[in-house]
Amino acid sequence: MTGLDLFQGFGDTVSTVLKSIVPIVTFFVIFQLIYLRLPWRYLARIFFGVGIAVAGIALFLQGVKTGFYPAGSEIGTFLGAIRLKWLLIPFGVLMGFLATFGEPAVRVLGYQVEKASGGSIRRSLVLYGISFGVALFVGLGMARIVWGIPLNYIVIPGYILAIILMFASDKTAVSIAFDSGGVATGPMAVTFLLAVAVGITSSIEGRDPVVDGFGLISLIALAPILFIMLAGLYLKIRLKRRGEQNGNG
């Protein structure tokens, strides 16, 4: 690569983004014409917003393509070539933690859980719990890449555990848990970690980038689901115990 090419292929990016916004805008316009009949001023504001969103996604995607992919695959290639392969695991743990700890959605979820549990599950517990949970799972994801373990061997037991926990938990805990699956799969996780994982698989012999490089996002989505239900169960057991104590005394 010679020099900077920050806006290489920008036309393609813009056309992708414009195409992606067509269905929702068409759908809305049809709805507007038939039923909604919102005032013009309000419509103008909505379309101004859509315009800003389009510009934003285009800039975002361009930054990801020209900045994050090359750096991610550079780091991945470097990591895949080191001799002590197990070092990838602590690296994954660190990256998983950094990607989650800052994620605003995780903080919002913490607030939501604190409210729903009447303050007995603190929001800091949710923040740290999910961050460490994701860190652990990204570490597992790296171990999977290093030793070529099929994703099924990790995800399927995780899903089975989730189904078991589901029947032991309250309905509210289940709903919040499954909705929160996506909180940690923010833009950094999806763009950067994916590029790193694909880079690693391309420099370890015998790994197929399609089979081994993908899968991290699903692990990142699984961690909060399991954590929220476990926290809910812990709360349920504690409340029950307290109820029994009160009953005896």
Judged by CB under 8 A, the chain residues 110 through 149 that form the site for another protein are none
For residues 76 and 193, give the distance between their C-alpha atoms in angstroms, rounded to a whole number. 9
Task: List the interface residues with another protein, window 151-210 (CB under 8 A).
Answer: 151-152, 155-156, 159-160, 162-163, 166-167, 171-172, 174-179, 181-183, 185-188, 190-192, 194-195, 198, 208-210
214 binds another protein (CB under 8 A): yes
56 binds another protein (CB under 8 A): yes
Query: Which is closer to another protein, CB of 104 or CB of 249?
Result: 104
Which of 9, 51, 90, 243 is in the footprint of another protein by CB under 8 A? 51
33 binds another protein (CB under 8 A): no
233 binds another protein (CB under 8 A): no
**Least spacing, CB of residue 247 vs another protein, in Å:** 28
68 binds another protein (CB under 8 A): yes
Write out the chain in H/E/C secondary structure: CCCCCCCCCHHHHHHHHHHHHHHHHHHHHHHHHHHHCCCHHHHHHHHHHHHHHHHHHHHHHHHHHHHHHHHHHHHHHHHHHCCCHHHHHHHHHHHHHHHHHCCHHHHHHHHHHHHHCCCCCCHHHHHHHHHHHHHHHHHHHHHHHHHCCCCHHHHHHHHHHHHHHHHHCCHHHHHHHHHHHHCCCCHHHHHHHHHHHHHHHHHCCCCCHHHHHCCHHHHHHHHHHHHHHHHHHHHHHHHHHHHHHHHHC
**Least spacing, CB of residue 179 vs another protein, in Å:** 4
Which of 28, 136, 207, 233 is in the footprint of another protein by CB under 8 A? 28
Token pair 């007995």 in the structure block, residue: 120
75 binds another protein (CB under 8 A): yes
For residues 203 and 82, give the distance between their C-alpha atoms in angstroms, rounded to a whole number. 10
Part in contact with another protein (CB under 8 A); list of ranges 15-23, 119-127, 132-140, 236-244: 15-23
Total residues in contact with another protein, by rule CB under 8 A:
106
Query: Which is closer to another protein, CB of 5 or CB of 244?
Result: 5
Alpha carbon distances (Å) from 114 to 57, 124, 131, 231: 33, 9, 16, 11
Part in contact with another protein (CB under 8 A); list of ranges 119-127, 218-226, 231-239, 240-248: 218-226
Query: Which is closer to another protein, CB of 122 or CB of 170?
Result: 170
**Least spacing, CB of residue 233 vs another protein, in Å:** 14
